[in-house]
């Protein structure tokens, strides 16, 4: 039976940040992937989503400058088929390129479902087409087994579907990002960041969009003052929000017309995207048999990313953690495990402050201490609100809104938290993340000269 130093279940960003470094250090490495090599982010997640978002950005920039350099009726229409074709030029090669990278580096890879047979043995089951005769094909299972000294679980997560009648008609975010044709009318279930982002794209590309949510709190976990402003801006752009509606069922009528029934009303649509959360891929991995604790939230690990089995670790979106389940966090965990497994550190994993964003127009982003946390401890924190809409950097592109909240430590005066709603928020939040994680002081900032005008040159005004 083939034996490896390290086996990784899941070939997403966390795996990629670990596998190549382990191989470069002389370790023998095996990778098991059940779906597409490269993982969700580049194949059907943040990367293709941002390509579609780029079209939304370009269209919005022109729309904002009508009468300020652009003529009326000059707002471009997004051609969905062309946009999706462009997206495919990025996503289609991803899996093949990752496999080619493994081959070139000498990393053994298996395509199929991986399951722990013991603390050191993995079975990989692949379903293959078998040609019986010239006209008939059937599926057969092929099983391979190998052993490894150390095993790392990086199986990611998937969309959680509401368990209601008609759930078979749901589209997921993965389905949305593969739509050949954009439906005329779309309903998005849930008011989390995935719903907001995909609904905003669909709206900008010409669909009639409605977001249904079971309570009155959109974007739970984000600054609610800014979240409510974002709802107002998306409403102006044509997105309809319906709050405090519990979904009861989905039924199919003539053709492709669907009816979504809530406890208060019914809504007709051409498609229903269920974006009510995500669930960790922990089923059928053999975890229970080995006493490894796991649930829909993820696999339980300690502060060294170790499970209850001393040689089995987990990382990425499949672990239960308070940190955001995002690609950069998964990659960070992969880099940490590389150091741990190579004996370069024995320290506990220590996460920096992690920024989170809702990529709509305008974009909502935050990092560090939140305003709600600060309000609970007024002796330690001060919160300031900035309306930046007339600052030159936002005036020049006629941005409709540009708000920021800055949270300061009262004793040191340092910025410890930040949140914003503006069209340059992705740049803005990364700069604030540097300021917060590095503890940049006012006098240090004043001794820097930034390119002007830019998000960076505005930094001095927050101190």
Distance CA 8, CA 334 (A): 11
- Has 412 been labeled as part of a binding site? no
Q: Contact, 227 vs 219, CB < 8 A?
A: yes
Sign for the pseudo-dihedral over CA of 310, 98, 42, 366: positive
The reply to whether 202 sits in an annotated binding site is no
Q: What residues pair up with 113 in beta bridges, in sequence order? A: 125
Please give the DSSP secondary-structure letter assigned to residue 319.
B
Dist CA 171 CA 179 (whole Å): 10
List the structure tokens of 141.
Answer: 């299972």
Is 197 annotated to bind ligand?
A: yes
106 assigned ligand-binding residue: no
190 is in an annotated binding site: yes
Distance between CA 234 and CA 239 in Å, rounded?
Answer: 6
Provide the 8-state DSSP code for 107: -
Is 277 marked within a binding site? yes
Distance CA 304, CA 386 (A): 40
Residue 13 near residue 330, CB atoms below 8 Å: yes
Tell whether residue 192 is among the known ligand binding residues. yes
Q: CA-CA distance, 32 to 286, in Å (whole number)?
A: 15
- Taking alpha carbons only, the member of 382, 356, 379, 378 closest to residue 367 is 356
Residues 334, 335, 337, 342, CA torsion sign: positive
**With contact defined as beta carbons under 8 Å apart, do 340 and 304 qualify?**
yes
SS3 422: strand
Question: Does the annotation list 299 as a binding residue?
Answer: no
Instruction: State whether residue 127 is helix, strand or coil.
Output: strand
Tell me: is residue 193 an annotated ligand-binding position. Answer: yes
Is residue 176 annotated as involved in ligand binding? no
Residue 157: asked if its preceding bond is cis (omega within 30°), the reply is no
Beta carbons within 10 angstroms of residue 109's beta carbon: 18
Binding annotation for NAD(+) = 190-197, 277
Binding annotation for FAD = 50, 114, 317
Binding annotation = 50, 114, 190-197, 277, 317
């Amino acid at each position: 039976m083939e034996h490896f130093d390290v086996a990784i279940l899941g070939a997403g960003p966390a795996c990629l940040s670990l596998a190549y470094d382990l191989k470069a250090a002389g370790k023998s490495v095996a990778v098991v992937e059940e779906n597409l090599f490269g993982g969700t982010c580049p194949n059907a997640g943040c990367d293709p989503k941002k390509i579609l978002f780029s079209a939304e950005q370009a269209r919005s920039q022109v729309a904002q400058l009508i009468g300020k350099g652009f003529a009326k009726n000059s707002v471009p229409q997004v051609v969905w088929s062309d946009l999706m074709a462009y997206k495919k030029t990025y996503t289609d090669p991803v899996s093949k390129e990752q496999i080619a990278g493994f081959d070139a580096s000498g990393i053994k890879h298996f395509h199929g479902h991986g399951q722990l047979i013991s603390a050191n043995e993995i079975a990989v089951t692949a379903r293959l087409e078998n040609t019986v005769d010239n006209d008939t094909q059937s599926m057969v299972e092929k099983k391979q087994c190998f052993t490894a000294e150390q095993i790392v679980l990086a199986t990611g997560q998937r969309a959680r579907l509401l368990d209601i009648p008609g759930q078979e008609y749901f589209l997921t975010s993965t389905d949305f990002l593969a739509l050949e044709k954009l439906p005329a009318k779309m309903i998005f279930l849930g008011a989390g960041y995935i719903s907001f982002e995909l609904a905003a794209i669909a709206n900008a590309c010409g669909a009639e969009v409605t977001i249904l949510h079971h309570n009155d709190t959109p974007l739970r976990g984000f600054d609610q003052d800014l979240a409510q402003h974002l709802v107002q801006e998306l409403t102006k752009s044509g997105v309809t929000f319906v709050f405090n509606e519990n979904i009861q069922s989905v039924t199919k009528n003539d053709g492709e017309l669907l009816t979504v029934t809530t406890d208060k009303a019914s809504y007709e649509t051409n498609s229903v995207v269920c974006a009510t959360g995500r669930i960790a891929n922990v089923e059928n991995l053999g975890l229970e048999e080995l006493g490894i604790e796991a649930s829909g939230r993820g696999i339980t690990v300690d502060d060294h990313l170790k499970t209850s089995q001393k040689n089995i670790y987990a990382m990425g979106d499949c672990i239960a953690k308070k940190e955001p389940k995002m690609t950069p966090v998964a990659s960070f965990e992969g880099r940490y495990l590389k150091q741990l497994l190579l004996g370069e550190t024995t320290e506990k994993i220590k996460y920096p402050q992690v920024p989170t964003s809702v990529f709509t127009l305008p974009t909502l982003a935050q990092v560090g201490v939140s305003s709600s946390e600060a309000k609970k401890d007024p002796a330690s924190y001060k919160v300031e609100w900035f309306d930046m809409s007339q600052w030159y950097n936002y005036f020049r592109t006629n941005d409709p809104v540009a708000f920021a909240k800055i949270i300061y430590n009262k004793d040191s005066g340092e910025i410890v938290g930040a949140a914003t709603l503006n069209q340059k928020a992705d740049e803005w939040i990364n700069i604030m993340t540097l300021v917060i994680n590095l503890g940049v002081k006012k006098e240090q900032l004043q001794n820097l000269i930034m390119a002007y005008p830019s998000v960076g040159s505005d930094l001095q005004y927050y101190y």
